[in-house]
Amino acid sequence: MAEVQNGYANHKLNFEVIRSPAVILHPAGEIPAGGPATYFLSNLDQNLVVTMKTIYCYPASGRRSTERAAEVLRTSLEKVLVYFYPFDGRFGVDEGGKLVVRMNGGGVPFVEAAAECEMEELGDVSLPEPARLGGLIYCPPAESIFETPLLTIQVTRFKCGGFALGMAMSHSLADGLSTVEFLHSWAEIARGLPLSLPPFLDRSILKSRRPPAVEFPHPEFSDLAGSLSTSDSFSSIPLIHKSFTFDADKLSRLKLLATANGESPPPTSFAALTGLVWRARTKALKTPSSDPTKLLFAVDGRNRLNPPLPTGFFGNGIVFACCICPAGELVEKPLSHAVRIIQSAAREVTDRSIRSAVDYFELTRARPSLAGTLVLTAWTRLGFGATDFGWGSAAQTGPAELPTREVALLLPENNGGKGTVMVLGLPASAMKEFEEMMKF
């Protein structure tokens, strides 16, 4: 019996997605060296127990019929799972209380679906709207993370012949770069090619030191809840999500605004955008002046470690740089002040600080608290859209939803645009003020 999901709608779209029953896929062959019974997850993986839900849209074209797209994606996924075999397992806990992957053959659910609309009616998928896009992602019911698949795939065919690939992947298994490398490997096999970059799966190179040595303070793990003058109501207020596009001209204006008098060179686009969002969001939420506000932003540690992580490292190579500033100071001082704090935090991510963070978790099992916090991450240079399964690159990609309420995301502009898109969620009253601050 096919499953019918109704009501994935916004003001311009109301459509049905009809799903066929899920098929559970497994690696199509022996995994290397038989594979371990338990797959190790590093301390950098332990902090990211969220599911990333992303969508990749492939319009119909004269280049190649999409009639067999689901079959091609299914058979090639089974083949690529031989190399990325941890997706075949499920979470477990080791004797030390940390997450591992139990290689129990739980498998990867794969669903074929049909949408009762044309693909162009989807609109811009860079705006994360679960009510509109959730029908393109398959998430089977699970009572706990130990029953939740580490990867699910849905291929949805539209009336026009185009199809959307919807993917739900555990962030503990892969950060953005590893996710893209997995997609590119899958796409190579779908096109009949050998892997150009086989994954490096041994995460034990990120084990804590013996004995653990915490060399630095780690404010990224600090809980601000006790320092806030009011309860952190942000966690319960309904949010609306909006996207803001910054083209080349607007980014140039922003970098000029973010440059202190006489300072040279201007900040990077990332530092300027991050400072803008942190400052404007704090102001829009009317955070009391004396309250601290925290910013966490993802930094790729692969080449900051000594030695660097191996090429093709599969896992989480990111760490969170942390900035904490009184809200009043942040919003009253110029944007360049916020940018300098961000630049300083980024410079502090070194081999020693990353090793110290790994050891800090080993000793404390602490996870970053998100009270009074903005989490910002950038997908602008990852190349999600370049994935070609045989039907060309994706016309557009985006997140079906943000992993937590505190996240803001930087994305490349869809449909060939050269700008940067920023998406976030805020209460309606705060969003109106935030929008005004995006006009410059």
Active site residues: 171, 388
CA dist., res. 180 & res. 84, Å (int):
13
Distances, alpha carbon 5 to alpha carbons 15, 18, 167, 282, in Å: 9, 6, 17, 37
Q: Which helix (H) or strand (E) holds 190?
A: helix 176-190
Dihedral angle over CA of 202, 407, 92, 142, nearest 10:
-140
Helical packing angle, 269-284 and 428-437, nearest 10°: 140
* Selection from 335, 390, 107, 357 nearest residue 221 by Cα: 357
* Selection from 439, 432, 421 nearest residue 284 by Cα: 432
**Sequence-distant contacts of 8-11: CB under 8 A, at least 24 apart:** 8/131, 8/132, 8/133, 8/134, 8/135, 9/131, 9/132, 10/123, 10/129, 10/131, 10/132
* Selection from 97, 296, 81, 95 nearest residue 173 by Cα: 81
| DSSP string computed for 87-128 | GGSEEEE-TTS-EEEE-S---EEEEEEEESS-GGGG--TTS-
CA dist., res. 414 & res. 400, Å (int):
15
